[in-house]
Homo-oligomer: A and B are copies of this chain.
Amino acid sequence: MFSIGELAKQTKVKIPTIRYYESIGLLKPAERTEGNQRRYTAEGLERLGFIKHARELGFSVESISSLIELQEHPDRSCYAATALAETQLRTVRSKIKQLRSLEQELARISTGCSGDGVSENCYVLSSLANHDLCNKDH
């Protein structure tokens, strides 16, 4: 049996976050001691690890709820779980794409101004003001 603090240390999820997950139903309510403190089993540890990993992969809390439900009713879960992962993959890929175009523009902007002291005509500021200087259309 772990206290919430030990659980936090093991999973590197902060204590208030653990309580938050319980409050929104992502973690099922922990057992309590006589004095009302939470006690966790290895199962709770495992589940929190699952949640943490999925959050790191960018799954929303809602998606994680679905994944957990799938875990508990394993019939046909494979298709649905794979579908969720694929949706997530698409989201990540489109984010990457968008960020790469930002990267290009920022790189162009921040090297445009060489820093030789001509300050009235800052390339960064004028680039931001005038979207036409930008090749991409975001």
Say whether A99 faces chain B, with CB atoms less than 8 Å apart.
yes
Which residues of B lie under 8 Å from residue A54 when comparing CB positions? 128
Q: Mark A78-103, 1 if CB is under 8 A from B, else 0.
A: 11011011101100110110011011
Number of interface residues of A (CB under 8 A): 53
Secondary structure at the A interface, as helix, strand, loop or mixed, is helix
With a cutoff of 8 Å between Cβ atoms, the chain B residues found around residue A74 in the complex are 119-120, 122
Number of copies: 2
Contact present for B107 and A89 (CB under 8 Å): yes
Of the candidates B84, B88, B110, B123, the one whose C-beta lies within 8 Å of that of A86 is: B110
Q: Which of A13-21, A28-36, A45-53 contacts B (4 or more CB under 8 A)?
A: A45-53
